[in-house]
Amino acid sequence: MATSKAESYNSYKMFKCFKRKFKITEAGPPPDVRDAFSRFAGGGDHMSADQLRRFMADHQGESGVTIREAEAIIREVLRRRNDVAQDKTTTATATTATTGLKLDDFFHLLFLDDFNGPFKSEVHHDMTAPLSHYFIYTGHNSYLTGNQLSSDCSDVPIITALQRGVRVIELDLWPSSKDDVNVLHGRTLTSPVPLPNCLKSIKEYAFFKSPYPVIITLEDHLTPDLQAKVAEMITQTFGDMLFYPQSECLTEFPSPESLKHRIIISTKPPKEFLESKNLKDKGIILPNGKESFEEETSEKDELDLRVEFEDDDKSDSDQDDEDNNVSDCKPIQAAAPEYKRLITIHAGKPKGGLKEALAVATDKVRRLSLNEQALEKAASSYSTELVRFTQRNVLRVYPKGTRVTSSNYKPIIGWMHGAQMVAFNMQGYGKSLWLMHGMFRTNGGCGYVKKPDFLMQKGSRNEVFDPKKPLSVKKTLKVKVYMGDGWRLDFSQTHFDTYSPPDFYTKGMPHHMDTLSQIPTWVRVYIVGVPADCSKKKTRIIVDDWAPVWDEELTFPLTVPELALLRIEVREYDRSEKDDFGGQTCLPVAELKPGIRAIPLYDKKAPLSSETPQPNTDDIKLTAVVIRRRNRGEAMSKQTYRVCLCFRRRFRLAVSEAPNEIKDLFDQYSENGIMSADHFHRFLVECQKEENVTKEEAQAIIEHTIRDFKHPPIFHRKALNLEAFFKYIFSDNNPPIQASTTAHHDMTAPLSHYFIYTGHNSYLTGNQLSSDCSDVPIIKALQRGVRVIELDIWPNSNKDNVEVLHGRTLTTPVGLIKCFKSIKEYAFVASEYPVVITLEDHLTPDLQAKVAEMVTQTFGDILFSPGSECLKEFPSPESLKKRIIISTKPPKEYLEAKDMKENENGSSKGKAGDEEAWGREVKSTKSLNVADDKFTQNDPDEEENDDEEDDDGDVNSQQIEAPEYKRLIAIHAGKPKGGLDECLKVDPDKVRRLSLSEQQLEKAVETHGKDIVRFTQRNILRVYPKGTRFDSSNYNPLIGWMHGAQMVAFNMQGYGRSLWLMHGMFKSNGGCGYVKKPDFLLETGPHNEVFDPKAKLPVKLTLKVTVYMGEGWYYDFRHTHFDAYSPPDFYTRSLRSPGTYFFLESEIGIAGVPADSVMKKTKTLEDNWIPAWNEEFEFPLTVPELALLRIEVHEYDMSEKDDFGGQACLPVSELRKGIRAIPLHDRKGEKYKSVKLLMRFDFVPTAVAE
């Protein structure tokens, strides 16, 4: 087809040896859109405001749009398209008045839901009719967070329902053990929530979404005294918002308009309630009814409808008439008049069968409740009676008792018989709930939808609508599905398919495929309504595309369009696994606006999230676009895993509980279960070794901890109970290292006295060969605290400007000036200490002069200019606060080196590294290669050391150097001629920077270890990755640090264990990017001796680590993320327990000098989201100043690749003693929101340990 699409590419790795590349197509205007634009723009290239008004009136059916509104739409579209600032509005307005919309702007307009949605966004139904004339958005057991048997009761699902627009909230009231009232699902394992909590939340959120009345249906199981207490709670809570009926029984319900911002109570009057309970106690009503929580089984024998109706009532999950009461109510007890006066919508069922229940009284109106099964049976024999009853009275339909999973039923059965309150479990999800949400998106989402006229009308012979009567086709709906887009923006590239773009389809079976590559992409469209209208159709198949274009028209004849819902569902076909869900929507046909419309898709729960739609046509033409927002669900008390599609395994979720040692500590530092500020202060000093903490600070911590409780216990004494104490211990307020962002090391020493957070090829977004160059990774590095940024600068293609790129590769360049501006903007976001820019330049003197001009103009006063050509000592970080420092080779040395290089052979290339996707184990410092005889010989793995780099410019040694460039250099780089001895000579008159590759360093330390330490006491050593690390992997940084190397340069865009060590080291000193080197690396003995990294050292102290427990995976991962059939089985990568199939363990170790490096593991646990190990480990340390504590968690999987569970790396020298909460991080070093370990740290001096 002719739809234009902008193209880019996605690469998918296949079998770790090659990649498949697929074009990413950007959707362009379909032919119908182009034709409409051309027709209404008069064949021109712009559409004026008047032409847009005509398009909206003639094509879209929106005849009310004025010329002024069309102009406003044009201004807003162009503002969004061009991101026009507020101060330029006047200019934009003047421009649009003359130009209008171009085709792309017009197409963009069609994608805007606020201007081009499928139905009206405001209330537009007549709201002055009685309540019985409306379908009402109704919840069932609104207080439950999950299933009907064992989930928690809470006000949270009530709030969520009200925010969505639900207008009927159901509360089951039961006596508490303390003569109070709780809300819970009676006689189940659900945990209660106090009634006042629910009432207050209803008051606060009732009119958040809609001003129209909220109805509270009370299913009470109370004594008259407690009913009176409930009446007092209601009146005090709602006050003037509460609606009081004028008479005991209304003859007609009031209208939604007259009840705006009012609360209405619906329940059974107390006297009827007590009488029904007394009758039940005497056994007059059939005794085989089930408890309120039990599943309602279908009857095997066909019974008389009257008996069936009565029996069903007794098994209803919430039917007042038949519910047993836990109180000893007697009919002689006085009813609660104050409770009865509150009831506006009276519930109840007359004695007798269904016919009597459906009798319409002329002098009063009421509410009748039927479960879904009773309704289905009633509809088969009394369908017209149901319609007649609902014309004046309210019919409530609720789920059958067997829906213990909080599933739902088909709502259309109730609606087609006029049922106003079709009660749904809003905390569930599925296709039925999608229909419910779809119905109540109409009429501005106010929660009230006017019933079709035919359900309210009566004929000349008093006849009403018959749902079972065959009807003729009234209208035909034409749906044209143009295209879909947006998945690639809201999902990761490999979310659907690992090796190709997604293959969307709907739940039905796909067509037969002749070849493997022909995987279908198609959409199924349904009509849900009266039986005669229900149908489903699908589009043709499209293969491998993120933006599928169907351009097909589907036709649906409708007999009752007023009750029809258009349902669209998209799925992605997967040959080997469960098919992936791609989005859904449900739209009321009666409300659809004709024309080309934007249809947003929703996820399975259709969350309350911002929706950015895209197009669809009527004649309705639909262009489906999915915008999906994933919300983390509430934790439940149990989880179900499907196994082999035939049975389910159930695992009870353990509750996070304080370990025994924590409980013992609490008992030790508390009295009578309460830890006061004095007790807590003593705990912090004695156990946590926080000697400087004051009692006032201890009290502040207590108050902060109490504030964080959602439902605080009794804290009037401003003290902690065990739960609160454990919450503090396991919170981010109790970190393993000092949380302060202020540097606490001495920052007045020369730069050479610090390890500095250093990046390598800082401009690369990915690998070293073909990724893009950008300022984005530079910004991210600076935001993390990196202090050394490396830029490779090359002439552009015209040799007249400068670009940043990885030379002689397929990387795409980025402008140097763009990088400089980003460095200036973000340099001191994370730290105020100096940023060093290392320039690896490949420029002519003219371009070097141009770079000097860029540097001075961009950085201005924040640029550090050295006082002399060569510094005798580097300045301190403190003296260089908020300054930019330039480090590179002086131009003359650069040119001479290049000239010499032209006469030598280039270095050969090695093989790419074989790191696993999440990083190889860090190479030990114990096994280093023997040095070659000549240090200066070419290393095949060396990459960008200035002396060895080739230059493609026509530069020769006779060219004039750039003095303005040279004057900027504060840290001079360069390598003297000769071997390693010459390179490591210390000049008392000047300091400099030396660069070595990781392999050169490994070879050098074998023979010159002490010389390197001596060199780094005054000079700077930069170490960088070898040239074969094409995938931007890294090396073991400890090799450099233990020899005093200040700039251990890393690929910050990579990931893996080596990078975790780097992140861990620079968590020290407030994360400022400068870590003071240990004194032993800077000291010189009486005989001028320095530290020998290879010397055997005695144990200095022993680190004792106790691993108590872990928590948070349940909140940060889907419950099937690790195992599809059980809770996770975490373990560490390098160790296994023979004979154990599912287990959970963590690995803890030390990364440091060779004598200190070791890894240990915990015992094995099975199937648990909250593992508790309670094990202690000891790590003797010879050089604790350079030691890093490394923690890693993995989940074992027998059949697939093991799953990663988190990691942490902490500098031992900065660890705080005592019990601490250790946050875990993902593979790239980003902290998880919830995943933590609880650990204890103690340091034992050598003499004590022995």
Please give the positions annotated as active site. 760, 806
- 363 in Cβ contact with 247 (< 8 Å): no
Contacts of 549 (CB under 8 A, 6+ apart): 1, 3, 27, 30, 482, 483, 542
Contacts of 998 (CB under 8 A, 6+ apart): 1023, 1024, 1025, 1026, 1035, 1039
CA dist 579 and 1185 (Å) reads 53
**Residue 304, φ and ψ in degrees, nearest 5:** -60, 140
**Residue 40, φ and ψ in degrees, nearest 5:** -85, -15
CA dist 504 and 546 (Å) reads 9
Name the packing angle between helices 224-238 and 195-205 (round to 10°): 30
Taking CA 100 as the corner, what is the angle to CA 98 and CA 104, rounded to the nearest 5 degrees? Answer: 150
Residue 475 CB: number of other CB atoms within 10 A?
Answer: 15
DSSP H helical ranges for 736-841: 776-784, 816-826
Of 733, 747, 734, 814, nearest in space to 787 by CA: 747
Burial zone of 1132 (CB within 10 Å; 0-12 exposed, 13-18 middle, 19+ buried) = buried
Q: What 3-state class would DSSP assign to 527? A: strand
- 1103 in Cβ contact with 1184 (< 8 Å): yes
CA 436 to chain centre: 26
CA dist 331 and 353 (Å) reads 24
Q: Are strands 367-371 and 394-398 parallel, antiparallel or unpaired?
A: parallel
Of 487, 1051, 490, nearest in space to 771 by CA: 1051
Of 289, 138, 121, 273, nearest in space to 214 by CA: 138
Burial zone of 796 (CB within 10 Å; 0-12 exposed, 13-18 middle, 19+ buried) = middle
Beta strands in 1031-1167 (DSSP E): 1047-1050, 1074-1076, 1101-1111, 1130-1131, 1146-1151, 1158-1161
Q: How distant, in Å, are the alpha carbons of 3, 25, 30, 386, 516 from that of 544?
A: 17, 11, 19, 50, 12
CA dist 1136 and 1164 (Å) reads 9
Tokens 């995987």 belong to 519
Q: What 3-state class would DSSP assign to 701? A: helix
Helical (H) or strand (E) element with 1100: none
CA dist 416 and 394 (Å) reads 14
Taking CA 412 as the corner, what is the angle to CA 408 and CA 418, rounded to the nearest 5 degrees? Answer: 120
The torsion defined by the Cα of 703, 704, 707 and 713, in degrees rounded to 10, comes to: -50
CA dist 600 and 405 (Å) reads 28
Q: What 3-state class would DSSP assign to 895? A: helix
CA dist 563 and 565 (Å) reads 7
Tokens standing for residue 1086: 């009486």
Tokens 């008004």 belong to 53
Q: What 3-state class would DSSP assign to 1151? A: strand
Of 402, 411, 403, nearest in space to 435 by CA: 411
